[in-house]
Amino acid sequence: MSNGVLGIHHVTAIAGSPQRNIDFYSGLLGLRLVKVTVNFDDPSAYHLYYGDESGHPGAILTFFTWPTAPHGILGTGQLTVTSFAIPLNGIQFWTELFKSRRVEYSGPEDRFEEEKVISFSDPDGLQLELVATDRIKNAKAWKRGPIPEEYAIQGFLGVTLSEQSHAGTGELLAQLGFHQELHHENRYRFEIGGNGVGGVVDVLHLPTTQRGQVAVGTVHHVAWRTPDDEEQKNWRINLLEAGLKVTPIMDRRYFHSIYFREPGGVLFEIATDPPGFAVDESPERLGSELKLPPWLESSRKEIAQALPLIQLPRQ
């Protein structure tokens, strides 16, 4: 196939209340709200994007917000944990912050010797981790956010996939360019791209665990980075030749996307790095107002009236 993807582009999950989501991810965790738009396939729902200072790939967590949707069920065939990287000296800061804000957490616990992990969940039950590590280089945290830069989240370390059988998933990850590096009990670690952001995938082998159901509080899909449209076209051809069902290329305004399911059932996407979030807002104004793609602009009034009112964070 190709030389490999470039790691995680973004993770997309499902939330209930959009305001509660903003307050938690921007107000508490200190991520920058870099884009406020709608789900292009369902304009009645917000699509909120959080990231670092400029919304670089590898630091983007996004949410479809469906306030009346049911809660999902965690299980196999899902991305069950999203792991953020924090500086090595950040453990005490974050545990004290969580205590002061009454956020339930566990840890810090050791994992693969070099990592210390704090586990917690968001208000909808989405499973998250902060992992103290020195492997993330050249991170660009949100300097004007509520978290001091020396402790701030530095993008994704990686994600955890829960699978009834890890073999097929591991084979596909290898096709995408990942290499199995570590193994402890039922956790298999795959890595790509050296010490960059979003280069880790842990696969949990859980043969007796029920399959999950995607809804509020669960992850919808994970996207992998590719540098440009031409490389994405090559990936689509190669994946189709490998027998996978791959969507046509879709214009997501801030990147172009193809989607397919890995053998265990998790929805994968391959997304282009360009054009990025500054295509319709200046870097200084990211996330400051509702942005719509050109094909929805004619319906702006109706869309805006149907969306819940939200208070955006100061940028």
Distances (CA, A) of 220 to 95, 114, 179, 195, 281: 28, 30, 24, 26, 26
Q: In angstroms, rounded to a whole number, what is the distance separating the alpha carbons of residues 167 and 20?
A: 38
Name the band, by pLDDT with cuts 50, 70 and 90, for residue 143. confident
* Residue 168 CB neighbour total at 10 angstroms: 13
Q: In angstroms, rounded to a whole number, what is the distance separating the alpha carbons of residues 193 and 169?
A: 19
pLDDT of 152 above 90: yes
With a threshold of 0.75, does the pTM exceed it? yes
pLDDT at site 145 = 87
Partnered with residue 267 across adjacent β-strands are: 261
| Residue 1 burial class via C-beta count within 10 angstroms: exposed 0-12, middle 13-18, buried 19 and up | middle
pLDDT at site 141 = 81
pLDDT per residue as tens digits for the range 58-102? 999 999 999 999 999 999 999 999 999 999 999 999 999 999 999
pLDDT of 194 above 90: no
pLDDT at site 140 = 75
Average pLDDT value for the chain: 94
CB 16, CB 215: distance < 8 Å: no
Percent of the chain predicted with pLDDT > 70:
98
pLDDT of 138 above 70: no
Residue of 5, 35, 25 lying closest to 201 (CA atoms): 5
pLDDT of 46 above 60: yes
* Residue 175 CB neighbour total at 10 angstroms: 18
pLDDT of 286 above 60: yes
**More confidently predicted of 238 and 196:** 238
pLDDT at site 135 = 77
**For the residues of 168-185, what is the DSSP string, one character each?**
HHHHHHHHTT-EEEEEET
pLDDT at site 89 = 92
Q: In angstroms, rounded to a whole number, what is the distance separating the alpha carbons of residues 73 and 273?
A: 31
pLDDT of 146 above 60: yes
**More confidently predicted of 115 and 114:** 115
Percent of the chain predicted with pLDDT > 90:
88
Q: Are strands 127-132 and 78-86 parallel, antiparallel or unpaired?
A: parallel
CB 222, CB 269: distance < 8 Å: yes
Name the band, by pLDDT with cuts 50, 70 and 90, for residue 2. low
State mean pLDDT over 93-117.
93
Domains, the chain, ordered by start: 8-306 (3.10.180.10)
State mean pLDDT over 203-207.
97
The residue ranges of DSSP E strands in 112-205, in sequence order, are: 115-121, 127-132, 156-163, 179-184, 187-191, 200-205
The two tokens of residue 131 are: 């992992």
Residue of 255, 195, 247 lying closest to 55 (CA atoms): 255
pLDDT of 139 above 80: no
Half-sphere exposure of 51 (CA within 13 A, CB side): 28
Place of tokens 């993008």: 155
Name the band, by pLDDT with cuts 50, 70 and 90, for residue 195. low
Query: Is the bond into 108 cis (omega within 30 degrees of 0)?
Result: yes
